[in-house]
Chain A
């Protein structure tokens, strides 16, 4: 299938959805109060782009997201480097990590909000906790699975551990680390919105959605907010995926992707 063909069919799919939901609303099969038609939701979402209060909400979510991701990448990469680079540390800390990791991060929202109160500190802490894992694991596994032959070659020529790390292991692990960062960015958005929905007040996209859910005729707003959250998710993923492809297009993990 050509690129144009794929693009045309994709647009046709989207158009079909909008038209169907519009028809269902006009004929009264799906009452407007129950589920507003897609056109109305998209229209509302577009209007929100010019709404100051909504932009403040969006900004608050993005700020917490950015702070959280930055800290998580810092911690995750550092810990991953240590655990991937120092075998003794790995044996010591790995078991504890394996016990912490299965805890679903949203279950920590009530505890952290109780300790730190509602606000940016709570939101950022939860984002950091959840987003550190993918960076940490991808860095660690990236380093551990580097081809041993070039490493040993360098060692034979008298290079030290640090030099091997810098010249061989880090460059080989970089594409995996980049994937970890992308996963962390997506996870961070999930935690940001979840924390805000549960907090229910303050600023944030999740707060907007939670308040619309409480409002008498807020269905359209809830759905328009959801459209925005999806758009944010798409944007974050697309930007980071493009960055990965540009930086690491040479790597095997990239050549296998067909889309």
Chain B
């Protein structure tokens, strides 16, 4: 209890310090936290009760961002886990694909956004593809690692009892790869958040948190920019906590 208290006290003091200093300094670039919180409230949660207090701005920008991120991450998880299981169980397949995977993984993910803009043009399909492509690597490689290190005795036992291949996959391989899959998922989550924002920052996007950020930048609206940054930090924290909670439940 005291640990939690101590933790929060430091943060509270840091915020108060920021408030005092920025109020004194009157620097347009660093608005006080109270201004940012006020702006966040006005922007996103001062709407009618019928819409769960969400404003039209929140519905028009935050929800599309989250939907794209979820879609991209889900695609990365499905494809990444499937490919990872295949590569992890077949040394041959791994040998054929290894150089390609190494290279694809080494490309800085945001570089792929211009590539997908050229191939798919601006819009939601391009954004989802960018998120999925950028976020797939940690899941894929971790799953492969997990699938490779399944206990050979378990596999031999399953074979001796003539367990069908599908059962071997769902009862032995996937459960023992699961901790690794989750470790990959958490890395992929932060990557997908980065790519969600980045794919919305480029000129020509119509909505999203990243769009709000560049839009505020063009209007020199610093409080809104800070609000978007703080919101992204909160989102990152919440999503990570969510995955950790699911992980703890599933791996119990």
Contact = CB atoms under 8 A, between A and B. Distances in A.
Contact of A114 (B8, B107, B193, B225): B225
A218 to B, nearest CB: 7
A12 B95 CA distance: 9
Nearest to B239: A102
A223 B115 contact: yes
Most buried by B among A106, A198, A206: A106
Contact of B10 (A17, A92, A111): A92
Most buried by B among A93, A110, A225: A110
Given A13-B97, A109-B201, A229-B108, A115 B114 contact: no
Interface string A164-206: 0000000000000000000000000110011001100000001
A246 B33 CA distance: 48
Given A213-B117, A229-B108, A107 B232 contact: yes
Interface in A93-126: 93-96, 99-100, 102-111, 113-115
A9 B96 contact: yes
Interface in A1-58: 1, 5-6, 9-14, 16-17, 34-35
B103 A107 contact: no
A16 B96 CA distance: 10
A233 interface: yes
Contact of A206 (B97, B99, B111, B193): B111
Contacts of B115: 222-223, 226
A206 B194 CA distance: 17
Most buried by A among B91, B106, B234: B106
Most buried by A among B14, B95, B97, B119: B95
A10 B96 contact: yes
B205 interface: no
A85 to B, nearest CB: 19
B217 A13 contact: no
B91 A1 contact: yes
Contacts of A197: 110-111, 113-114, 202
A247 interface: no
B111 A108 contact: no
Nearest to A213: B114
Contacts of A6: 95, 98
B103 A230 contact: yes
Contact of A12 (B96, B111, B193): B96
User: Which 10 pairs of residues, A with B, have the shortest CB-CB distance?
Assistant: A102-B236, A233-B106, A9-B95, A103-B233, A230-B107, A13-B96, A194-B110, A234-B106, A190-B108, A110-B217
